[in-house]
Amino acid sequence: MSSTIRICSIVYLFVCLQMQGQQILQKSEAIALALENNYGIKTANNNVIIAENNSDVLNSGYLPSLSGNAGATLDVQNTEGQLVNGETRTADGVETKRYNASVNLNYTLFDGLGRYYNYKRLKEAYQLSELQARETIENTITQLLSVYFEVAQNTENLQTLTKVLDISKERLIRANYQFEFGQNNKLGVLNAEVDINNDSINIITAKQRLISSKRDLNLVMGNALKTEFSIDTTVVFLLQLKKEILLSKLKTNNVNLLQIDKNINISTYDIKANKSTYLPTLGLSGSYGWNESSNDNPLAFTIQNTNTGFSTGLNLTWNLFDGGSSMTRIKNAKINLENQELQKNEISLTIERDFNNAWDDYQNKLEIYRIQESNIITSKNNFDRTNEQFKIGRATSIEFRQAQINLLNAQLSENRAKYQAKTAEILVLQISGELLNMEF
């Protein structure tokens, strides 16, 4: 066995061992790992929790405020006083002690419906955060599937190149036999060795591409997999997709359109909340307090006082004119609402254009894939015939190698077309808002 054959055998064995004994990562499993571990999704989910906290009744202004106060003071004074009979009395170092404690309640009964609209606004903001999280999830899943299919393509490319290497090794063995029995010259052996070396280099390059794409995939999943893995290269196209149905769903399910609708609702509540400043505010206040004072002043009529009691009241506040700041805020809020509606019209046209482009691209790539499948059959038949002619000496090694390369290029092109078509299909589903409703 020549050194070239020995080196190629080692490379082939190494590749086979690497591809065996690995766990097969299904698409659904990869999606589940990304949903659980992707850092972007985790951040988006935390933002949803923050928005949910903000929309809670505890942040609505509907609940009263309750506060407690307590205090103590000590006065030390020198006192001098004159009685009615003209007698003067003095007291040095007289101590006066005062203690107080109270519980105070404040509650807004009416504020012009401002807190009502602010509460509604916070609920819309919470739903907007959910849509933003959904957008992050959709983008992450789209990225995940694109990288997953890249790994699948690199996996099949490596398998195809490995088969090419097998054929080249058989050709080298045949060329050595023919040279030993005088049926061929040394040039045939040298050409076969060169082609084996080139095939081996292609395998090394393809293997590195596969390793890199696997790292990219694991990164999207938050580096959840600590062991080597392989993926499922099965591709099933959703040929039952109908453009008209998807286009109708786009108008109600596209996450960008849903977000702009929420922003329009928020702007509407902003206007109403600002208008509430034109109305008065009615508040309720109440307190329960305890006060005690004591002193040892001989001139005082009482040496200790204790008061306890409850007090309540209503207060009405009406800002008749605030210099025009409320009017300015309302005008700006109306302009912002108009901008949101204009943006919705622009986004609607843009998304519909993107969908039509994505759909046409998907259909074109499907057609290219079908043509590449047909090309595979032609290239395979051409290679088989050339191989038979080469075995009986009617085809040269150059003709054999060219047929081999033509078949390899056809197989690689077919792989590329297949996964490009599937990636285009994923984009169609994402734009139409149906990505999360599909099973992969």
Q: Quick one: tokens of 382?
A: 């051409």
81 within domain boundaries: no
Exposure string of 368-380, with b = 16+ CB inside 10 Å and e = fewer, is: bbeebeebbeebe
pTM comes to: 0.86
User: Per DSSP, what are the bridge partners of residue 314?
Assistant: 284
Q: How confident is the model at residue 17 (pLDDT cuts 50, 70, 90)?
A: very low
Per-residue pLDDT, averaged over 289-312, amounts to: 77
Mean pLDDT of the chain: 90
What are the tens digits of pLDDT across the range 181-204? 777 778 888 999 999 999 999 999
pLDDT at 16: 45
Helix (H) or strand (E) holding 114: helix 114-180
| Residue 74 pLDDT | 83
How far is Cα 121 from Cα 126, in angstroms, rounded to an integer?
9
Spell out the residues 6+ positions from residue 21 whose beta carbon is closer than 8 angstroms to its own. Answer: none
Average pLDDT, integer, range 69-84: 78
Residue 360 lies in a domain: yes
pLDDT higher than 80, residue 84? no
Q: How confident is the model at residue 5 (pLDDT cuts 50, 70, 90)?
A: very low
**Domain span at residue 366?**
3-65+112-280+324-437
Count the Cβ atoms, other than its own, within 10 Å of residue 164: 21
Q: How far apart are CA 419 and CA 148, in angstroms?
A: 10
Model confidence at 11, pLDDT cuts 50, 70, 90, reads very low
Name the band, by pLDDT with cuts 50, 70 and 90, for residue 90: confident
Q: Distance between alpha carbon 107 and the CA centroid of its chain, in Å?
A: 41
The domain spanning residue 333 has which CATH number? 1.20.1600.10
User: Does a structural domain hold residue 354?
Assistant: yes
Count up the domains in the chain and report the number: 1
Establish if 274 belongs to a structural domain.
yes
- The pair of structure tokens assigned to 60 is 């609505």
Per-residue pLDDT at 240: 87
pLDDT of 298 over the 70 cut: no
DSSP-assigned letters across all residues of 11-41: HHHHHHHHHSSPEEE-HHHHHHHHHHH-HHH
Please name the amino acid found at residue 313: G
pLDDT above 90: percentage of residues in the chain: 74
Let me know if residue 313 belongs to a domain.
Answer: no
In a domain, residue 385? The reply is yes
pLDDT tens for each residue of 34-54? 999 999 999 999 999 999 999
